[in-house]
Chains A and B, each alone.
Chain A
Amino acid sequence: MSIAAVSSFVIWFISATIRMATPLVLATIGETFAERAGILNLGIEGTMLMGALTGFLVTYFTKSLWLGVLMAAVVGLLFGLLMAFFAVTLGVNQHVSGLGITIFATGLAYYTYRAVIGSPTVPPSIKAFSTLKIPLLWKIPVLGPIFFNQYALTYIAFLLVPLSSYVIFKTTFGLSLRAVGENPESADAVGINVYKIRYISMIIAGTLMGVAGSFFTLCEFNMFLYNIVGGRGWVAIALVIFANWMPWKVLGGALFFGGIDVLGLRLQSSAIKIPYQIYLMLPYLFTIIVLILVARNASYPAALLKPYRRE
């Protein structure tokens, strides 16, 4: 193989990886905020699907991509609030309420699409986002096409990583967030409003999940398809644990699994014998292994899954 062929493969691969990782980064950062506050949000897959649907429908009717993203964010926020209501205000079982939200949101997404669009032989499409070339930078050989010719949402997602790291570790909100997820009694004892912090984190989480969903319909594809989120929400749940609830590790993990996704798709259309589903399985397998290893040494936010009620 020639150097040119190898280098063009590498450029394509890394660039595609970054692209594929975008929704994972967004959704997982969102889930990180939720879990650091003590809430395991199993509603993420459904929320993302609703984000995908909302983004698509709004753009389809208003022809505005950014309005689509905005409304996807709003819908995601609402589902985040719904989860907060069950987990914080009602304080009921988080696993079951999260699953209920995913079942509801998933059903609602397909229901709404079918009701509004019907089932035409050719599914309607929109004019999706095109990549945003950063002026000058994108012309740099090799690095240019990889890093500086991506979707706007991708740039946002990646900027979100240092931003969320800053918020979590360098702000008063972030400090309170970490305290609440670890030991809400201690946080309460120093005057922090545990409920408020949890609600805010769910709002952040839901919004990011909604935007993550919109990436599928407004960037990756230009239509709304069945199973378009493809389990990325569940991967995010796995990824948060894998990344030890740290934004930079989330980035690393998302890129890793994004890369596997890309490879898998590539292999699907090649003659290689290994079924690509093996690759799809890897995030889940790795996470279970990580869970086994950390089980005793809980790096889990200690208050995860426990509703807080003042006695």
Chain B
Amino acid sequence: MTVRGRDAMLVPLQDALRDVKADEAELHVHRRRSAISRYAKNQIHQNAVADETLVQARVVVAKAVGIASANSLDPADLRRLIADATAAARESAPNADWPGLAGPAPLSEPQAYDAETARADARSQADAIKRVTAAATQRACRAAGTHQIELTEDALANTNGIATYAPSTLAYLRALVTSDTGTGWAEDLGWSARSLDPSGVAARAIEKAALDRDRTQLAPGDYEAVFEELAVAEVLRFMSLTGLTGETLRDGRSFMKDRIGEPVTGPRFSLWDDALDPRTLAIPFDVEGTPKQRVALVEGGVAKGVVYDRQSARWFDTRSTGHAADPRRYTVGGHAGNLTMAGGEAKREQLIRATGRGVLITRFHYTNTPDPKRATMTGTTRDGTFLIEDGRITRALANVRYTMSALDLFSGIELLGPQRLARDWWSSNGMGSIVCLCPPIKVARATLTGSSPL
């Protein structure tokens, strides 16, 4: 993959902004080159690469905002884009709470970028997949999944003098191994292809698939539980969307409403948003050009605050924390997308040994929230749901439906393992953009409300 670089991405924006006839204007370009190899039944069935460049213009005229986007950095196209946004602003009504565009501020260096990963080709992706499928075939299983390499380049310039650029890379490998009796799942995620271990992914998925036999159904009720990292990331997603932004606080939908400074979970739960952690996937500025800051959300179970973009910061008479959301996915009001949950030292085996009678949950599928105010999540498990009895896995379970408030779940944390990079089902499939550094946990109580058939 070819990196276009700072000048190729930024200079056309700066040139286009020189003669803007408006109070304020901003251009943000997001280039994404995504190479995805999808495999099923041990062979690649879709193998695609796409290179796209999204340019968005925001133009402000007398506090009225116009937005236009296109997919070209050609000077004539950028001029037309600004003209479209200007026309939209002139047709729009003023926003009395308009906070103004961001001004220049010191930024950290981009950390989530690896030039070698950006150069990965189709053959290297196929080779990684072959290591997974060979291991699965050896165990008389079949494997399915995805190998993804992505290069992004973001550049943002505005009439207040911001001119910033950051590249980033993403490498992702997932494997679903299916045996005659069940399924197992494993994945690796990082900003470098070196962080992907195809053999390790295959081994973990195969181990789970081998355990998934002679399933039994579990009656609904409250159980002790071990949530692996992907399952924890799923729960964190709903905390983020329903309660950790200036918009949800303003609307009264956040569980933090009137509770900042009060305990909202048990003391073993701490959560912050930190895009600057070198382990996570992020660039150092948000889509408004504001530097991303580390924000404490919950500390020792006590609600500490939420994240803000410029608009929601204005509502609360505070400063943006650098959490403006991708407007293609989220509404104005902030987005907590780089969550870090405090972890611990417990190994997976210790979490299981500490469980008298309970369930181990690998991951969830198609979750949702029937009660946003309580950050309640419902979803069925898949690809590794097991019964734990007297500190060891004794049976595979038919997938269960879990329905519970995140606040209640995290109030019952008894043990925490080390953090790992993980995404919820929605974000790993491109339907969200939340990345978590989170631990596996052992909790005193998880509420199961149903079971799938055997």
Are A and B part of the same complex?
no
